[in-house]
Amino acid sequence: TQSTRPQRLLSAVQKNATRGDPCSVVKAIDQFCRSKEWAMNVGDEKGCILDSVVSELNPTTVLELGTYCGYSTVRIANLLPPHAKLITLEFNPDFAAIARQVIAWSGLEEKVQLVEGASGDLIPKIKQDFGVQTFDLVFLDHWKDRYLPDTKLMEACGLLRKGSILLADNVICPGTPDYLEYVRSSPRYESQYFKSHLEYTKVEDGLEKSVFLG
């Protein structure tokens, strides 16, 4: 049977990256996407912005919406302090299976909890089921029309505290207009746009960093 793109991405990691070396896993995926097949990872250019936000914040609790193949999961987990926790939500079981193997290859499974399911169903269960009260950082990179409803859901479930940071991918391309309007106009957020490019291309895209003011 034909392999899928995530399966070919995983094979490239297993072939070209060193087990237990997260940086080599990130490099192997970027090289695969640049030279073989484009895939919707946050990528190396926006990835550097992601790295700087994570490093500056030094978060102990992180939520990622949309694991896909685990590229940004590995990038974030690699920068977390000991005992910090990254919960990543993915509803496609095939993508989740690939991501688990990518995360395992990087040796970061201790820091990552990949939960299979839809964000809309899982977010209300996080406090009781996963022992997290609030998140220091949320990375949004799932279906673009879910950014706004899930942000409102996180607010309603008390998962954000004063100073929590939302970092959203693709606010230009594919674009998340309703989310952008919300975080930029709401008095409860202080928002900042980091101009960049759509992964592995010259098309404009960027990340929006929004601090929840409580």
Ligand X SMILES: Cc1ccc(Cc2cc(O)c(O)c(C(=O)NC/C=C/[C@H]3O[C@@H](n4cnc5c(N)ncnc54)[C@H](O)[C@@H]3O)c2)cc1
- Is there a catalytic annotation at residue 16? no
CB 53 within 8 A of CB 80: no
For Mg ion, which is the closer residue by CB, 90 or 169?
169
13 dihedral zone (left: phi>0; alpha: psi -120 to 50; beta): alpha
- Is there a catalytic annotation at residue 169? yes
Torsion of CA 51, 57, 61, 64, to 10 degrees: -40
- Is there a catalytic annotation at residue 15? no
- C-alpha–C-alpha distance, residues 62 and 112, integer Å: 9
Q: Which of residues 134-153 bind ligand X (CB under 6 A)?
A: 141-143, 146
Q: Which residue of this chain has its Cβ atom nearest to ligand X in the complex?
A: 66
Closest-CA residue to 166 (of 175, 184, 177): 184
Per-residue binding letters, 1-40, with ligand X (x by CB under 6 A): ---------------------------------------x
- Is there a catalytic annotation at residue 78? no
Least Å distance between CB 181 and ligand X? 19
- C-alpha–C-alpha distance, residues 126 and 134, integer Å: 9
169 binds Mg ion (CB under 5 A): yes
Closest-CA residue to 159 (of 135, 125, 190): 135
For ligand X, which is the closer residue by CB, 17 or 65?
65
* Among Mg ion, ligand X, none, residue 89 binds (CB under 5-8 Å by kind): ligand X
- Is there a catalytic annotation at residue 141? yes
The residues that are catalytic are 141, 144, 169-170, 199
Binding site for Mg ion (CB under 5 A): 141, 169-170
